A = this chain, B = another copy of it.
Amino acid sequence: MIKAGIIGSTGYAGQELVRLLLGHPEAEIVWYGSRSYIGKKYDQVFGNLFEIVDAACMDDNMEELAQRADVIFTATPQGLCASLVNEDILSKVKIIDLSADFRIKDVSVYEKWYGIEHKAPSFIEEAVYGLCEINREKIRNCRLVANPGCYTTCSILTLYPLVKEGVIDPDSIIIDAKSGTSGAGRGAKVNNLYCEVNENIKAYGVATHRHTPEIEEQLGYACGREIVLNFTPHLVPMNRGILVTAYGNLTGDYTDAQIRAIYQKYYGKERFVRVLEEGIAPETRWVEGSNYTDVNFRIDPRTKRVIAMGALDNLVKGAAGQAVQNMNLVFGLPEETGLKQPPMFP
């Protein structure tokens, strides 16, 4: 059994990690970290786990955690993981960081977009960007996984085949993304109150959202050069789910079949990416609670653009599920271990 510790277990992503690891046949949770709820029983924070989890929340003692655990998940605000990691820790335990600390290779880009100093830049090089479908081989046996952002995962998986194969002009990419509210976290803020979110949709972080450079970096690798693109997130009155609608100028006269073949080339054998049938648009309801990303596209012959779409559950494939998928890779387990549950509808 893999012994797992979670730092930040009382956020939405942390709790989802708990839910998934409880159903994982090869893992057990040995540490429920939560600075906000130290000493409180975990099932008093999350009543769904009453009579299921019998543990109290613990402080973030990295040294002790590294002794007890085989893997540490950090589901914490930016900066915390970087402040905790060091060679001694990494020699004892694997780290899967759900924050942005190790996602961006250029530390100056990180510091500019996040507005904080990076406390452990020397480990950025070593960290592997944990988008399993693309970096699978690098993830195996690595020590430090930078688990991708929710918007990022959806955006990249939606566009990767198109960019990699040169189907669209990378400079023309526009990503319009929509997210459920669990992505905003469990902090008590007026803007996230029920009556403020319900019956409303808005864009936020327009032209400034922090997932932008992460998407640009990864898609840049795919096309072999630096790119800039537009990314606009929106807040949707629902608990879970991200939908990406992305636009790109076609570089030639592609048919639907040709582009479909390209998607199949990359995702045909992927367990967790489903290329939908022609004419079916991805919907967040069909992936809820699961690790799937659904993708599809439509060519607009009038404008010579392609509209590519992707949907995932921001707490699963967009956070905790992908973290477990990464854990499976790191520890040599079948990638789908503990992640087989079908999406739940309605």
Contact = CB atoms under 8 A, between A and B. Distances in A.
Interface residues of A, number: 83
Interface in A241-286: 241, 243, 245, 247, 274, 276, 280-286
Contacts of A341: 23, 341
Contact of A238 (B237, B245, B282, B340): B237
Interface in A155-170: none
A1 interface: no
B50 A294 contact: yes
A225 interface: no
Contact of A307 (B48, B230, B342): B230
Given A239-B198, A342-B49, A188 B181 contact: no
A31 to B, nearest CB: 18
B186 A188 contact: no
Given A186-B190, A198-B238, A203 B46 contact: no
Interface stretch (A76-84, A90-98, A130-138, A295-303): A295-303
A222 interface: no
A186 B346 CA distance: 10
A234 B203 CA distance: 14
Contact of A195 (B182, B232, B342): B182
B228 A303 contact: yes
A206 B305 CA distance: 12
Contacts of A58: none
B48 A243 contact: no
A344 B294 contact: no
Interface string A176-201: 10101110101111101111111111
A318 to B, nearest CB: 14
Nearest to A345: B48
Contact of A19 (B181, B305, B342): B342
Task: Output the residue of A12, A200, A229 with the most chain B CB within 10 A.
Answer: A200
A29 interface: no
A149 interface: no
A121 interface: no
A204 interface: yes
A206 B239 CA distance: 25
Given A47-B286, A243-B234, A300 B201 contact: no
A240 B199 contact: yes
Nearest to A47: B286
A289 interface: yes
A116 B311 CA distance: 34
Contacts of A207: 298-300, 302, 307
B194 A186 contact: no
14 contacts: A12-B346, A181-B195, A188-B188, A194-B197, A194-B239, A196-B285, A199-B239, A199-B240, A200-B238, A202-B243, A202-B285, A206-B281, A206-B298, A230-B247
Interface of A: 12, 15, 19, 22-23, 46-52, 174, 176, 178, 180-182, 184, 186-190, 192-204, 206-207, 228-230, 232, 234, 236-241, 243, 245, 247, 274, 276, 280-290, 294, 298-300, 302-303, 305, 307, 309, 311, 340-346
